[in-house]
Amino acid sequence: MDTEKALALLRSRLYDPNYVHATFKSSEESNYCKLKFLIMNSISDSCNNSILLLGPRGSGKVAVVDLVLEDLKTQHPDSISVIRLNGLLHSDDNFALKEIARQLCLDHQLLFSKMASSDDNAGFMIDMLKECGLSHKSIIFVLDEFDLFAQGKQRLLYSLLDAMQTVSSQAVVIGVSCRLDADQLLEKRVRSRFSHRKLLFVPPSREDVRRLLEHILYLPKDIGLLSKYVAEFNSKIQYNLQDILNDKKFQEILDSILFIDGAINNLVQFLFRAVSSMSLESGLLSLENFKGSHLCYQRQPKTQILEGVSILELYILVCMNRLECKEQNSYNFNSVMKEYKAIHEAYKTSDNYRDSVCLRAFEHLLERELIGFVDNKGRNLSIEIQPVKLLISPHELYLGLKSRSSCPAILQKLFDHESFR
Amino acid sequence: MILRTPTRRITRSSAVTPSKTSPSASKPLPPPSVPCPAVEPFSSGDRDPLSLDELISLLPGRKPQIHELLRLIGPSNSPMLPALLYGGPSTGKTATVLRVFQHLRRRFVYASCRSCYCPRILFETVLDQLLCHKRCRKDGYSSAKRCDKPPNFVDLLRDALIQATSAHTGAKMKSCSSGENGEMIYLIFDNVELIRSWDKGSLILQILFRIPDLLKVRNVGLIYISRALPDAYYSMVGSLEPLYIYFPDYSLDDIHSILMRNQVNPKLYSCFLSVVLKPFSRITRRIDELAIAFKPLFKKYCEALTDPTLIPDEATKRRLFDYLQPHLTISMNEIFNIPSWSSSEIDKERSVNQRGKLRNLSGAVASGELDIHMSLSAKYLLISAFLASRNPATLDGALFDSTGGSDNRKRKRKSLQTSIDKQDNLAAEILIKGPGTFPLERLLVIFQCITSTVEYEAEEVQLENGEPTEGSHAHLMSDVLLQLSTLCNANFICKSNSCPLEGSTRYRSMIDEDMAFKVARRVNFPLSKYIYRR
């Protein structure tokens, strides 16, 4: 039971990005502090402000915003009101205005009418800005996926930023985007009203990663488990974890993961997989868990698929490869069949099947996306006539053929002969 | 994978809606004006509970995937990061997920993007299941909430999840049902690769993969099932990747154990499989296609045995193998054929005609005969379309002169090397480019030429019988345009885009030579004389 509780605790920590990124709350140069400083200033000085948070996916931008806002809400409960918009959902202006009006109504306990038109909503928003400005309340707009708002005419951005400048309002606009050139996407008139403050989120350094791991993986002493067990468990796990974290192999694994994608989210996924494979009998994490999780990052999907493909389908792939080697620019099922029959006449194999059977194998390959049509416009041609192309590279095909034990030798021979003269 | 339980067959809908009503009556039943019970679509504890060993034995070859999935889902009340299960078709992904949830007895919502073929239906299905709303006739089969835009869906989903969670905790406090359910609700989206071909599909995919972030609700777990590889879901602006679980294709041993389940005479079937499995698996490794191909073969195999419950010894095995051998080669060259329901007269006629011909095992006609019924004018129209696509337009005058026939003796070609090369090139071109297009007028002209000769003979026959028929000419010409549109709908002829210069629509014949010859044989039309070739 206790091990289950420990497992559940670790998993819920890893699931919650706010917890994960709270590691860096205390350090002074972190983005958390900078953002907090900025917003506190604009609240206390009663001025408008705007800022962009940029960084690759999974670096914790929204988590940092959430942490800052949480803290500010506890410190100044009545002088902040938060509106959150997401570019995926609200990039259309009407939806955005409706959502803004809805959230404003929710915050101030007003009744929201679904039938209000977008002009009404826009007017409402401007009125609210004025009112809140007069009563010294700041409205904070969080625009997630900022680059999607910058598509099209940018009416919402313009009206928002314009209202901030003209009306006596106190508003802060926080834009969050994974495109590092998000501010280049803005129109001239919008950009002139936008302050050029940017916070960049960079991949963490080694010490930061170490701090993160300790913050997440060490169990606390006060979560209501049996005290004797807790002491033993904790010390064991600390001792154990110390060992693991200092182990060279673990460092290598960690390095290879961060090499591919340095964002913290990637690391969190790796840890989640490792933690969920923690054995429940011993209740301890071991290096094997991390190694197992690392294996999942080394998949080769297309070569994996080639192990499950039938022999006839392999024949078709090899025929297509031969046609490509012969530099036939466009070929279709009929040409592949011609090649297939030529092979069988030359080598007298036993795998000679009728056209309809081969067509079914061809369709399987299309479904698996190992081959594809050259143009997808859905022309009115039957499958046999439409030009096709291979979607795997010759090298992957070679690896796939080699790894199959039941592959007929003739295929290897045909393949070798063509590519590796 | 064909899933069979000894007691009853589980289809997807019955996996979600249990047959008995929930014993923990958390909601009052609606007034029984129309008999639709208030069934809680979430998996409550009233379906047959499944232990871990049973689960593993029901899904052969899937032990590592089951363990991986169980580990990722974790203990009850524990959140999970989204997971994507991917693998080829018929590898048991959906079956595994549903069985795992039957074992864990946790609440889930299942929506397949194959049956929910557009965003609105997908969203409404998910919401219906969460709100425990069943579509019934008195509402006109409408759903609980109308929702077709993603922003509305996210809001409604959040409300529905909160409602479902609070209803559940309320229910738990009222009646002490088995506490296995927990607070987590799992959303299972099946066949997500189909979303890519929807309108605005990429946007919907991004939203679907980001539901946990958008909702900010803690107790929802997401599982996606897909046939396409994870590479298909990488979007241009980067994506948060779910955790991947790969379902490899079944090995031959796994296929063997799956097919062996629920067989009446296991030893006999295993002898049969040892004969047929290896050759057939060279053609296809998909277990649904293999199962369909083996069914008639097994019947044939057992025909040689007098006692079907016999356990065969070596001599019997050899005898059975020899008996089956000729049918194997035929069967391997067949693809799945749906036998058509024909009346007894046609069957009699067929058996009379084909006494000598070797028929394949499913009882369908041997290849060489047309097995589609078409009206006479449709057959002629099809032949005309095939000729129009196949022959260049300049030959029409020579082929279809006033006598309606062609005289091949005039066109005997000398087999010069250049003309042979030209033939090869033409053949290669036909292979690559496919059939040519023709305008409607050309089709009608050819049709008229062909049918005029036929009526000539038909009229002679009928006049001999002493019954002058004026309508014979009308028979074949009437409703040609109607026939043409039927053939277009059946995809025998297709309409290409209209040429911008001429402005009229052009047609193209989609049938291959085999079929054209079958049709021509049916009406005794000498097709080979008219084809421009070799």
What pLDDT, on a 0 to 100 scale, did the predictor assign at position B28? 39
What pLDDT, on a 0 to 100 scale, did the predictor assign at position B169? 76
Whether the pLDDT of residue B39 is over 50: the answer is no
Nearest neighbour of A335 by CB, restricted to B89, B281, B432? B432
Q: Mean pLDDT across chain B, nearest whole number?
A: 75
What pLDDT, on a 0 to 100 scale, did the predictor assign at position B497? 67
A·B CB contacts under 8 A: 143
Q: What pTM was estimated for this model as a whole?
A: 0.82
Candidates A102, A151, A381, partner chain B, best to mutate (most B CBs within 10 A): A381
The span from the CA of B367 to the CA of B330, in Å, is 11
Long-range contact set of residues A38-42: C-beta below 8 Å, sequence gap at least 24: A38/A172, A38/A197, A39/A68, A39/A72, A39/A140, A39/A172, A40/A72, A42/A138, A42/A170, A42/A172
Give the β-pairing of B506-509 and B493-495. Answer: antiparallel
Candidates A11, A297, A299, A303, partner chain B, best to mutate (most B CBs within 10 A): A11
The span from the CA of B142 to the CA of A334, in Å, is 48
Whether the pLDDT of residue B115 is over 90: the answer is yes
Handedness of CA A58, A64, A67, A73 (dihedral sign): negative
Contact (Cβ atoms closer than 8 angstroms) between residue B123 and residue B35: no
pLDDT in tens, A324-342: 888 777 888 888 888 888 8
For residue B281, give how far its alpha carbon lies from the nearest alpha carbon of chain A (Å): 7
Whether the pLDDT of residue B225 is over 90: the answer is yes
Kindly state the average pLDDT of the residues B389-396.
79
Contact (Cβ atoms closer than 8 angstroms) between residue B238 and residue B282: no
What pLDDT, on a 0 to 100 scale, did the predictor assign at position B470? 45
The span from the CA of B275 to the CA of B300, in Å, is 13
Q: How many residues does chain B have?
A: 534
The span from the CA of B276 to the CA of B325, in Å, is 10
Cβ of A309 within 8 Å of Cβ of B285? The answer is yes
Cβ of A311 within 8 Å of Cβ of B283? The answer is yes
Cβ of B333 within 8 Å of Cβ of A353? The answer is yes
Name residues 369-398 of chain A within 8 A of B (Cβ).
369, 380-382, 384-385, 387
Kindly state the average pLDDT of the residues B411-427.
64
The H or E element spanning position B489 is helix B480-489
What pLDDT, on a 0 to 100 scale, did the predictor assign at position A225? 57
Cβ of A369 within 8 Å of Cβ of B80? The answer is no
Whether the pLDDT of residue B472 is over 90: the answer is no
Kindly state the average pLDDT of the residues A169-196.
89
Alpha-carbon distances of A258 from A24, A254, A273, A297, B413, rounded to whole Å:
18, 6, 16, 11, 73
Q: What is the 3-state secondary structure (H, E, C) of B293-307?
A: HHHHHHHHHHHCCCC
Whether the pLDDT of residue B398 is over 80: the answer is no
Name residues 227-256 of chain A within 8 A of B (Cβ).
none
What pLDDT, on a 0 to 100 scale, did the predictor assign at position B466? 46
Helix (H, G, I), strand (E, B) or coil at B404: coil
Contact (Cβ atoms closer than 8 angstroms) between residue B337 and residue B364: yes
Instruction: Give residues with Cβ within 8 angstroms of A15, minimum separation 6.
Output: A272, B79, B80, B81, B218
Confidence label for B393 from pLDDT (cuts 50, 70 and 90): confident
What pLDDT, on a 0 to 100 scale, did the predictor assign at position B111? 93
What pLDDT, on a 0 to 100 scale, did the predictor assign at position A234? 53
What is chain B's alpha carbon radius of gyration, rounded to the nearest angstrom? 31
Nearest CA in chain B to A296: B244
Nearest CA in chain B to A408: B282
Strand residue runs (E) in B37-173 = 83-87, 107-112
Cβ of A357 within 8 Å of Cβ of B332? The answer is yes
Contact (Cβ atoms closer than 8 angstroms) between residue B192 and residue B224: yes
Cβ of A308 within 8 Å of Cβ of B285? The answer is yes
Q: Which amino acid is at A117?
A: S
Contact (Cβ atoms closer than 8 angstroms) between residue A139 and residue A129: yes
Q: Which of A300-304, B110-114, B264-268, B360-364 has the highest mean pLDDT?
A: B110-114
Nearest neighbour of B243 by CB, restricted to A88, A95, A269? A269
Kindly state the average pLDDT of the residues A268-272.
90
For residue B92, give how far its alpha carbon lies from the nearest alpha carbon of chain A (Å): 14
For residue B72, give how far its alpha carbon lies from the nearest alpha carbon of chain A (Å): 6
Give the β-pairing of B83-87 and B243-247. Answer: parallel
Contact (Cβ atoms closer than 8 angstroms) between residue B60 and residue B253: no
Whether the pLDDT of residue B8 is over 60: the answer is no
For residue A356, give how far its alpha carbon lies from the nearest alpha carbon of chain B (Å): 7
What pLDDT, on a 0 to 100 scale, did the predictor assign at position B246? 92
What pLDDT, on a 0 to 100 scale, did the predictor assign at position B122? 93
Whether the pLDDT of residue B532 is over 80: the answer is no
Phi and psi torsions of B223, nearest 5°: -130, 130
The span from the CA of A239 to the CA of A244, in Å, is 9
Q: Mean pLDDT across chain A, nearest whole number?
A: 84
Cβ of A330 within 8 Å of Cβ of B249? The answer is no
Whether the pLDDT of residue A199 is over 80: the answer is yes
Cβ of B335 within 8 Å of Cβ of A178? The answer is no
Q: Which residues of A touch B435 (CB under 8 A)?
A: 385
DSSP letter for A279, please.
Answer: -
- Percent helix, strand and coil across chain B, each rounded to 5? 50, 10, 40
Interface contact A332, partner B, CB < 8 A: yes
Candidates B69, B184, B205, B282, partner chain A, best to mutate (most A CBs within 10 A): B282
What pLDDT, on a 0 to 100 scale, did the predictor assign at position B357? 42
Kindly state the average pLDDT of the residues B324-353.
66
Instruction: Give residues with Cβ within 8 angstroms of A70, minimum separation 6.
Output: A18
**ipTM for the complex shown:** 0.90
Q: Count other Cβ atoms within 10 Å, centred on residue A213.
A: 18
- Give the count of alpha carbons within 13 A of A225, CB side only: 20
What pLDDT, on a 0 to 100 scale, did the predictor assign at position B230? 87
The span from the CA of A181 to the CA of A200, in Å, is 11
Cβ of B80 within 8 Å of Cβ of A15? The answer is yes
Contact (Cβ atoms closer than 8 angstroms) between residue B507 and residue B385: yes
Name residues 284-313 of chain A within 8 A of B (Cβ).
296, 299, 301-302, 304-305, 307-312
Cβ of A11 within 8 Å of Cβ of B232? The answer is no
pLDDT in tens, A47-88: 888 999 999 888 888 999 999 999 998 988 888 889 999 988
Whether the pLDDT of residue B27 is over 80: the answer is no
Percent of chain A surpassing pLDDT 90? 10
Cβ of A95 within 8 Å of Cβ of B203? The answer is no
Interface contact A338, partner B, CB < 8 A: yes
DSSP letter for B435, please.
Answer: S
Whether the pLDDT of residue B467 is over 50: the answer is no
The span from the CA of A249 to the CA of A243, in Å, is 11
Residue B130 burial class via C-beta count within 10 angstroms: exposed 0-12, middle 13-18, buried 19 and up:
buried
Cβ of A332 within 8 Å of Cβ of B432? The answer is yes
Candidates A315, A380, A396, A410, partner chain B, best to mutate (most B CBs within 10 A): A380
What pLDDT, on a 0 to 100 scale, did the predictor assign at position A213? 86
Nearest CA in chain B to A379: B496
Cβ of A7 within 8 Å of Cβ of B78? The answer is yes
What pLDDT, on a 0 to 100 scale, did the predictor assign at position B477? 59
What pLDDT, on a 0 to 100 scale, did the predictor assign at position A140? 92
The span from the CA of B404 to the CA of A166, in Å, is 87
pLDDT-wise least confident of A198-202, A389-393, B353-357, B432-436: B353-357
- Residue whose entry in the numeric block shows the structure tokens 């009699």: B348
What pLDDT, on a 0 to 100 scale, did the predictor assign at position B361? 45
What pLDDT, on a 0 to 100 scale, did the predictor assign at position A260? 84
Whether the pLDDT of residue B274 is over 70: the answer is yes
Give the β-pairing of B185-190 and B220-226. Answer: parallel
The H or E element spanning position B348 is helix B344-353
What pLDDT, on a 0 to 100 scale, did the predictor assign at position A227? 57
pLDDT-wise least confident of A195-199, A267-271, A408-412: A408-412
Nearest CA in chain B to A329: B432
Q: Mark B279-294 as b/e (b = at least 16 C-beta within 10 Å).
A: ebbbbbbbbebbeebb
- Which of residues A177 and B479 earns the better pLDDT score? A177
Nearest neighbour of B231 by CB, restricted to A301, A311, A353? A301
The span from the CA of A314 to the CA of A309, in Å, is 7
For residue B372, give how far its alpha carbon lies from the nearest alpha carbon of chain A (Å): 17
Long-range contact set of residues B4-13: C-beta below 8 Å, sequence gap at least 24: B4/B261, B4/B262, B5/B58, B6/B262, B7/B48, B10/B98, B12/B94, B12/B98, B12/B110, B12/B112
Contact (Cβ atoms closer than 8 angstroms) between residue B527 and residue B417: no
| Alpha helices by DSSP H, B210-265 | 211-215, 252-259
Nearest CA in chain B to A8: B78
Whether the pLDDT of residue A242 is over 90: the answer is no
pLDDT in tens, A10-36: 888 888 888 888 888 777 778 888 999
- Which of residues A89 and B139 earns the better pLDDT score? A89
What pLDDT, on a 0 to 100 scale, did the predictor assign at position B355? 47
The span from the CA of A316 to the CA of B183, in Å, is 50
Please spell the DSSP secondary structure of B49-77, one letter per residue: P--HHHHHHHSTT-HHHHHHHHHHH-STT
Whether the pLDDT of residue B83 is over 90: the answer is yes
Cβ of A269 within 8 Å of Cβ of B81? The answer is yes
Kindly state the average pLDDT of the residues B424-432.
69
Nearest neighbour of B229 by CB, restricted to A88, A89, A369? A369
What pLDDT, on a 0 to 100 scale, did the predictor assign at position B483? 86
pLDDT in tens, B132-153: 888 887 777 788 888 888 888 9
